[in-house]
Structure 1
């Protein structure tokens, strides 16, 4: 019985380590695109107006950091920034939501019962599920590329991660990592003239 209990404890430690390793690798990234879009025609870009994250009418240091990162990523792919008549417009939005995660862990133990006829205790193995509830905040940073001529989104990428209290410097590093992770999934380069 002790071996079984020790094995279940090691299983829990292994599961917890795996979950922490998955969290430490960065945000989860999801992308989607318009299959009718011709990415070979896009050469120039600008920011969408108004940017979804700045709908309130003002910018923040986070939105400025995102803009700087988007600019670097677009230029690295050969796109040229222009104010008037761009081929693509980049929009972005950040959303934070409360989440609840519920999971069960199989557990085992031994229940002892007193047997009056034998005048002794008897151990009976017991199996049950140990349910854990975790409440946390999840942030999603979305970057959209919009065909400016048609005003139609042609590509989108989301970076999703848990939100925890951090210093402004740590937040900047997370923004950098999220934008980089999103654009790592963008397979296109600017069209050559």
Structure 2
């Protein structure tokens, strides 16, 4: 019973963490209405850590497609003549994190209908859970001065089981949508 309670509480904790943690920052002095076109700043996608298990041409293409689609929906068009208003660069960051959870058992005296009983000495169990968090970050630079004018990122806990290609694509599209949905800033 205790084991089932521990598993249930852990599952609820991890399920609660499945939402996105979205962050955005921008230069308030910029006129975002003046930006009409964009191009990729090379390299278009950077990885952190620089790990061959994370790097993938397939992942890069999925992120490029998702970013392009979101920018297009916001009225930004790919530069056709090589003169873009914005340079865009993305990051895929994977962090290893840990969380400790403590559970208290026993200890105390209860008085019931048939008399009281002693539950024994208190006992605390602490467990450490390791998990990975993936962050997709999108940076936009003004091409006139090369300064960062807008940054958005979203992080999400990665599933322990590897996703299928369709699940990867859907997750990337959803994450990039969350990152860019507040562009241009209001």
Q: Under a length normalisation based on structure 1, what TM-score does the superposition of the two structures give? A: 0.73
Structure whose alpha-carbon radius of gyration is higher: 1
CA distance in 2, matches of 1:128, 1:16: 22
Q: CA deviation at 1:36?
A: 2.6
Q: CA deviation at 1:49?
A: 2.1
Q: Which residue of 2 aligns with 1:178?
A: 175
| Cα deviation 1:9-28 (Å, max 9, x = unaligned) | 989956853641441x4x32
CA contact (8 A) 1:110 1:123 kept: yes
The count of residues paired between Structure 1 and Structure 2 equals 169
| Cα deviation 1:85-125 (Å, max 9, x = unaligned) | 111111001121211112334x241489xxxxxxxxx6256
Q: Which runs of 5+ in 1 are unaligned?
A: 113-121
Q: Under a length normalisation based on structure 2, what TM-score does the superposition of the two structures give? A: 0.75
Q: Which residue of 1 aligns with 2:83?
A: 85
| Counterpart pick for 1:34 among 9, 16, 27 | 27
Q: Which residue of 1 aligns with 2:99?
A: 101
**Structure 1 10/151 Cα, relative in aligned 2: closer, same or farther at 3 Å?**
same
SS of 2:42's equivalent in the other structure is: coil
Matches within 5 A, 1:128-143: 129-143=124-138
CA distance in 1, matches of 2:158, 2:6: 27
CA distance in 1, matches of 2:97, 2:13: 20
SS of 2:183's equivalent in the other structure is: coil
- CA RMSD for the aligned pairs? 3.2
**Structure 1 18/96 Cα, relative in aligned 2: closer, same or farther at 3 Å?**
closer
Q: Which runs of 5+ in 2 are unaligned?
A: 110-116
Q: Which residue of 2 aligns with 1:43?
A: 36
